[in-house]
A and B are shown apart, each in its own frame.
Chain A
Amino acid sequence: MITYPRYLDRSQSPVVRLIGLGNAGVNLADRISMNQGMDLETVVLNSDQQSLSSSVSGTKISLGPLTTRGLGAGGDPEIGLDAARESQADIEAAVAGADIIFLCAGLGGGTASGAAGMVAEAAKKAGALLIAIVTSPFGFEGRRRTAQAAAALQEIAAHADAVVHFENDRMAELAAPRSGVSETFAACDELLGGCIEAITRLVSAPGPLGVGLPDLLSVLDGGDGLCLFGTGTAAGDNRAHEALEDAMASPLLDRGRLLAGAASVLVHISGPPSLSFAEVGAVMQEVARGAAEESLLQLGISTVPAKDAPLIVSIIAKCGAAKSAPAVRQPATKPQPPKPKSEPVVEQKEPLLTPEAPDETPAAAATKPSPAPERTVSPVARPRPTQSESKAAASPKIKQETLQFEPVARGRFEKIEPTIVEGEDLDVPTFLRLTGKKR
Chain B
Amino acid sequence: MARDDIHVGLEIGTTKVCAVVAECREDGDVRLLGVGEAPSRGVRKGEIVDLENACNCVREALSDAEEKSDVEIKSVWLAVTGSHIQSFNNRGSVVIPDDGGEITEEEIQEVEYKAKEISLPKENAILHSIIQHYYVDGQEGVLNPVGMLGSRLEADFHIIHGVTNRIQNSIRCVKECHIEVEDVVVNSLASAQVVLGRHQKESGALVIDIGGGVTDYIVYLDGAVRHSGVLAVGGDHITNDISIGLRIPITRAEKLKIEEGSAILGKSLPGENIVLKNDTGFSGKEVEREMLNMIIHARLQELFALLRKRLAGEVPEHLLGSGVMITGGCSCIRGIREVAESVFEMPVHLTRAQAVSGPTSAFENPQFSTCIGLAKYAQAVRSEMPEESLIGGIFKKFTGIFGLKS
Binding site for B on A (CB under 8 A): 173, 176-178, 381, 383-384, 386-387, 391, 393-396, 399, 403, 405, 409-413, 416-417, 419, 421-422, 426-427, 429-432, 434
CA–CA, A160 and B320, complex, Å: 61
A403 touches B245 (CB 8 A): yes
Q: Given A416-B45, A427-B237, does the pair A387, B243 have CB atoms closer than 8 Å?
A: no
B116 within 8 A of A: no
A431 touches B286 (CB 8 A): no
B286 touches A419 (CB 8 A): no
Number of interface residues of B (CB under 8 A): 34
Chain B hits for A409, CB < 8 A? 244
Chain A hits for B265, CB < 8 A? 396
B244 touches A419 (CB 8 A): no
Distance from B146 Cβ to chain A, minimum over Cβ atoms (Å): 42
B295 touches A429 (CB 8 A): yes
Most chain A CB neighbours (cut-off 10 Å) among B83, B232, B286, B294: B232
CA–CA, A275 and B380, complex, Å: 54
Chain A hits for B388, CB < 8 A? none
Q: Given A386-B286, A431-B241, A431-B245, does the pair A396, B291 have CB atoms closer than 8 Å?
A: yes
B124 within 8 A of A: no
Contact of B286 among A381, A383, A427 (CB under 8 A): A383
Can you sample 16 A-B contacts with CB below 8 Å? A381-B271, A391-B291, A412-B240, A412-B250, A413-B45, A421-B231, A427-B237, A427-B240, A429-B240, A429-B245, A430-B299, A430-B301, A430-B302, A431-B294, A431-B298, A431-B299
A391 touches B245 (CB 8 A): no
Contact of A419 among B83, B241, B245 (CB under 8 A): B83
B271 touches A419 (CB 8 A): no
Q: Given A386-B286, A399-B294, A429-B295, does the pair A176, B270 have CB atoms closer than 8 Å?
A: yes
B269 within 8 A of A: yes
Contact of B237 among A395, A426, A434 (CB under 8 A): A426
B272 within 8 A of A: yes
CA–CA, A413 and B238, complex, Å: 12
B271 touches A429 (CB 8 A): no
B280-302 interface bits toward A, Cβ cutoff 8 Å, 1 = contact, 0 = none: 00000110101100110011011
B288 touches A391 (CB 8 A): yes
Instruction: Apart from A411-B240, A430-B301, list 4 A-B contacts with CB within 8 A.
Output: A396-B265, A399-B294, A419-B83, A430-B295
Chain B hits for A403, CB < 8 A? 245
B232 touches A426 (CB 8 A): yes
When C-beta atoms are compared, the residue in chain A nearest to B309 turns out to be: A422
B241 touches A383 (CB 8 A): no
Distance from B86 Cβ to chain A, minimum over Cβ atoms (Å): 13
Chain A hits for B298, CB < 8 A? 429-431, 434
B53 within 8 A of A: no
Most chain B CB neighbours (cut-off 10 Å) among A173, A381, A409, A410: A409
CA–CA, A393 and B306, complex, Å: 32
CA–CA, A242 and B37, complex, Å: 44
Q: How many A-B residue pairs have CB under 8 A?
A: 93
CA–CA, A150 and B301, complex, Å: 51
Contact of B45 among A393, A394, A419, A434 (CB under 8 A): A419
B44 within 8 A of A: yes
Distance from A414 Cβ to chain B, minimum over Cβ atoms (Å): 10
A383 touches B240 (CB 8 A): no
Distance from B345 Cβ to chain A, minimum over Cβ atoms (Å): 13
CA–CA, A343 and B122, complex, Å: 96
A176 touches B233 (CB 8 A): no
Distance from A249 Cβ to chain B, minimum over Cβ atoms (Å): 10
Contact of A412 among B236, B245, B306 (CB under 8 A): B236
When C-beta atoms are compared, the residue in chain A nearest to B265 turns out to be: A396
Chain B hits for A410, CB < 8 A? 240
CA–CA, A411 and B249, complex, Å: 10
Chain B hits for A399, CB < 8 A? 291, 294
Per CB-CB distance, the 3 closest pairs between chain A and chain B, nearest first, are: A394-B270, A429-B241, A419-B232
Distance from A379 Cβ to chain B, minimum over Cβ atoms (Å): 14
Chain B hits for A419, CB < 8 A? 45, 83, 231-233
Chain A hits for B83, CB < 8 A? 417, 419
Chain B hits for A431, CB < 8 A? 241, 245, 294-295, 298-299
Chain B hits for A417, CB < 8 A? 45, 83
Chain A hits for B273, CB < 8 A? 383, 387
Chain A hits for B250, CB < 8 A? 411-412
CA–CA, A386 and B274, complex, Å: 12
Distance from A435 Cβ to chain B, minimum over Cβ atoms (Å): 9
CA–CA, A409 and B240, complex, Å: 10
Distance from A378 Cβ to chain B, minimum over Cβ atoms (Å): 11
A178 touches B45 (CB 8 A): no
B120 within 8 A of A: no
B49 within 8 A of A: yes
B271 touches A176 (CB 8 A): yes
A387 touches B245 (CB 8 A): no
A429 touches B299 (CB 8 A): yes
Chain B hits for A173, CB < 8 A? 269
Distance from B165 Cβ to chain A, minimum over Cβ atoms (Å): 14
When C-beta atoms are compared, the residue in chain B nearest to A383 turns out to be: B273
Chain B hits for A434, CB < 8 A? 298
CA–CA, A395 and B268, complex, Å: 11
Chain B hits for A391, CB < 8 A? 288, 291
Chain B hits for A386, CB < 8 A? 286
Distance from A394 Cβ to chain B, minimum over Cβ atoms (Å): 3
CA–CA, A413 and B269, complex, Å: 33
Contact of A383 among B44, B272, B291 (CB under 8 A): B272
CA–CA, A417 and B302, complex, Å: 20
CA–CA, A115 and B176, complex, Å: 88
CA–CA, A419 and B299, complex, Å: 14
A411 touches B271 (CB 8 A): no
Contact of B240 among A178, A381, A396, A413 (CB under 8 A): A413
Distance from A187 Cβ to chain B, minimum over Cβ atoms (Å): 11
CA–CA, A230 and B72, complex, Å: 64
CA–CA, A29 and B271, complex, Å: 30
When C-beta atoms are compared, the residue in chain A nearest to B294 turns out to be: A396
